[in-house]
Amino acid sequence: MREKNSKRCLSLILAIYLLTSYRELTMANGMNPTKIPVKIGLILDKSSWAGMMGLNCVSFALSDFYASHGHYRTRLVLHFRDSKDSVIGAASAASNLIKDVGVQAIIGPQTSMQANFVISLGDDAKVPIVSFSATSPSLSSLRSKFFIRATLNDSSQVKAISSVIQAFGWRAAVPIYIDTEFGEGIMPYLADALQEVETHIPYRSVIRASATDDELVAELYKLMTMQTRVFIVHMPPTLGIRLFNKAREVGMMSEGYVWIITTGITNHFSLVHPSTHSSMQGVLGIKVHVPKRKKLEKFILRWKRKFPRHSPVDLRVFGLWAYDAARALAIATEEIVAREMNTNNLIDSQDLKVTSLVSEIGKHLPRALSRARFDGLSGVFDIVNGELQSSYFQIVNLMGNKGRGVGFWTPRLGITKKLNAPISEQHDSTKVNIKAIVWPGNVTSIPKGWVIPTNGKKLRIGVPVRSGSNAFVNVIKDPRTGMTTFTGYSIDVFDSVMAMLPYNVPYQYVPFAFPNGSSAGSYDDLVFQVYLGKFDAAAGDITIRANRSKYVDFTQPFIESGITMVVPVKDRRKGAWTFLKPLTWDLWVTSGCFFVFMGFVIWILEHRTNEEFRGSPHQQVGTGFWFSFSIMVFAHKEKVVSHLARFVVIIWCFVVLILTQSYTASLASMLTIQQLEPAVSSVRELTERRENVGYAKGSFIRQLLTMQMNFSESQLKAYDTLDELDDSFSNGGISAAFGEIPYMKLFLAKHCSKYTMVSPTIKTDGFGFVFPIRSPLVPDVSRSILNLTEGGRISGIEKTWFGQQPPCPDESSTMGLSNSLSLHSFWGLFLIVGIASSLAVIIFASILLYQKRRFLKHLRPKDLWRRIGLLSKCFKNSEQNNVEVSSISVHGLPPLTN
């Protein structure tokens, strides 16, 4: 009965409007001959509230505009056609208006599907199609310059939606949309916007336009079985209301759910019958923000006087766009006609040339509309490239019978509480800059956005299988009962981490093995099974690798790792030449050179005054060397007479004392402490000698050895357990083994006297748990791992599995403790003794030259070599013999006296 009354009321309003429109047309053509009538078509669905709202808003716009612009030469004359809520009806009406009536523009049609067909007709006839309600982004792809969208494109709101999702940290969202032009047009833009904020779309729920209630319930039950609890609804209000009614019936409007609706529903929420408001409590909506203005308030008062509250014709933002679109057409039409009449000097509006001009207005309207920028009822009306420019959006929280504004979104500020927010309150993706929200279920805590599926299944956690005992992960199947037990350090850590989550996650371990219990593949294979969905996650000693992260997500590592090489150790043999090892060869050579040098310096300083350093040349050389080397054992018997020589000898004795003591200490440690060294020192040595090397079976290390270290396949030998690795070393099967550091430490703890770790060490990110890409569990599990590590609880798990191993002696006590002494440690001593000896020789030479200064004073250049010979003779002779030489006069020169 209510529906019949609404239709009767709509028909009555339409009749009144058509009578008024006919009266205006009569006045324009007959009673007011000075005005130029321009025919404009209007295609709407008269049976819908949106159609009647648009019809009345266009009528109001033209009436208001010409009342305030009575001097305008043109008058728009409307010709209304009913689309009958069908694509065919809209196309038929457009064809009639263009061919039979001869309109210069068409306002409408009402829906995006209808506009898709009508636009092509307008293109052919060069008649602009101005729509205030066709919002589908797909219409832009038609690239028609005769399509003017006087409403916001649906794609303009996707940034606001993605910003909301990013602000609350939701990593996945499911769009629910209608399978029409209206619904499907927004999806490419929404998907791109969500991808930019790293939000995954695990599923797209497509609803038929004619879906029954049973179909809606079936789809909702399907959504309930999934993890994601964030839904984005984009559909017409009528279908959206039915969807939310069914969502409440099946329990999907309860705590934990997040519903976000687009402008298609939010803008019309107040039109929803109060009985259905309870089905949408807690929903977040994106709504076009219309700034408050005095002229808007006045228009709303006029509207309410003409259409009382709860009437079938209610004012919405689409009505405001219809009002502004009609006003823009009136401005653009007047501009075209006025310009052409002034250009052609036309005055009489009844002139045939004016009639011809009017018939060509449609071709010029698109460009004129792009220049018609004004402050309208909906805000600034600005058409660029045939599209109304985006405005601000308001974020509303549907509570009670209305939407409560909780924030705004703007391209510049992002999400903000206020439009005029200061710089300090601008949008920060790490902060929810929005008012408090009441979510479905009447809760204020922010939903996680996902839950464990409610289909009763537990998470299947894949576990690697390796033969033999393993401290990190051990899978044992009882042959009698068939029960499988999972133990190990990695398993205990996973259990502890999952228990620390703030919610319950049911899971079960599943061995990655064949029915006979043997491993089903490598660790890479296990990771790939998680990617394929065979497992929901994987736990064990799984190394975080870059190539694996392409298919799965890893949690925070729960233990550090890396790849290292383990080799046997051998004892350094104490042979006949061990006594040479305490000093390096450069120190031996330097010490020998300084012994010779010091013997020469002492001989120079003592030769003229000390008889023990005189005699035949052989005796003098022998005495100098003997004196220098005998200082090493402090067995020299020659007396030192010269003060300079005594100064040098004191310093040299100090240096020799330090050298001998250091040599003695180093040799003693070499002969008394066991000296172990690696049997293999480098990877290059292994590859050049083509030695066999071991690696953990099923590990990624095999690929690393062949591709990065250039080992051939024939050199690689797989081991399964640490005991098997020891056997491979013992029987000579391998010369070295490569493995992950945690395992190699366990191996050395049992065999530290036989093996050691050597370079190189290849860094890895450690062991982590594996989850599918974008799994919502990853952040929470990683956070639990950090809490477990920082809280110290993980040390108890380590003690349980690794604390029973006997401690391995410090490698520094057995490996390379007594290294040879090098010149680097003594070069300062040699520098001191060298400077002191050189200074003493310089002083000695200066004294000698001073004593013979009289001779040097009368020296002529041509007698230089003879005088040098005489000075040399004076040095070779003793102090007493020099007296005889001093009295000799050569070729008139004065004697060599003091």
Domains of the chain: 2-153+296-388 (3.40.50.2300), 154-292+392-425 (3.40.50.2300), 465-553+769-806 (3.40.190.10), 559-572+679-767 (3.40.190.10), 594-673+825-851 (no CATH)
Instruction: Give the contacts of 383 (CB within 8 A, at least 6 positions apart).
Output: 148, 150, 328, 369, 370, 372, 373, 389
First to last CA, the chain: 149
Coil, strand or helix: which one is 481? coil
Q: Which residues pair with 148 in a beta bridge?
A: 130
CB-CB contact of 331 with 374 (8 Å): yes
The model's confidence at residue 871, banded by pLDDT at 50, 70 and 90, is low
Alpha-carbon distance of 793 to 804, in angstroms, equals 18
Average pLDDT value for residue range 440-452 = 88
Alpha-carbon distance of 609 to 599, in angstroms, equals 16
- pTM here is 0.64
Alpha-carbon distance of 623 to 646, in angstroms, equals 16
Owner of token pair 């207005």: 361
Q: What are phi and psi of 815, to 5 degrees?
A: -115, 110
Alpha-carbon distance of 6 to 237, in angstroms, equals 18
CB-CB contact of 462 with 537 (8 Å): yes
Coil, strand or helix: which one is 407? strand
Q: Give residue 454's pLDDT.
A: 54
Helix/strand/coil percentages in the chain, nearest 5: 50, 20, 35
Q: Answer whether residue 622 shows pLDDT above 50.
A: yes
Alpha-carbon distance of 692 to 714, in angstroms, equals 8
Q: Give residue 30's pLDDT.
A: 40
Instruction: Give the residue with greater pLDDT, 895 vs 196.
Output: 196
Ranges 248-252, 390-394, 442-446, 820-824: which has the least confidence: 820-824
The model's confidence at residue 26, banded by pLDDT at 50, 70 and 90, is very low
Q: Answer whether residue 571 shows pLDDT above 90.
A: no
Average pLDDT value for residue range 104-112 = 91
Coil, strand or helix: which one is 103? coil
- Sheet holding 393-399: strands in order across? 205-207, 174-178, 230-234, 258-261, 284-288, 393-399, 402-410, 414-416
The model's confidence at residue 884, banded by pLDDT at 50, 70 and 90, is very low
Extract the tokens encoding 575.
Answer: 């042979």
CB-CB contact of 537 with 730 (8 Å): no
Instruction: Give the contacts of 705 (CB within 8 A, at least 6 positions apart).
Output: 693, 695, 711, 716, 738
Q: What are phi and psi of 822, to 5 degrees?
A: -115, 170
| pLDDT above 90 coverage of the chain, percent | 27
Q: Answer whether residue 161 shows pLDDT above 50.
A: yes
CB-CB contact of 504 with 571 (8 Å): no
Dump pLDDT digits (tens) for 771-790: 998 888 898 899 999 999 88
Alpha-carbon distance of 857 to 855, in angstroms, equals 5
Q: Give residue 425's pLDDT.
A: 52
Q: Answer whether residue 383 shows pLDDT above 60.
A: yes
Alpha-carbon distance of 107 to 766, in angstroms, equals 65
| H/E stretch holding 332 | helix 317-344
What are the DSSP E strand ranges found in 721-840? Answer: 736-740, 755-767, 770-772
For residue 825, give the nearest of 665, 659, 702, 701 by alpha carbon: 659
Coil, strand or helix: which one is 785? helix
For residue 785, give the nearest of 552, 549, 551, 544 by alpha carbon: 544
| H/E stretch holding 44 | strand 36-44
Q: Give residue 818's pLDDT.
A: 47
Residues 204-227 as b/e (b if ≥16 CB within 10 A, e otherwise) read ebebeeebeeeebeebbeebbebb
Ranges 329-343, 453-467, 714-728: which has the least confidence: 453-467
Average pLDDT value for residue range 751-780 = 84
For residue 258, give the nearest of 234, 240, 221, 284 by alpha carbon: 284
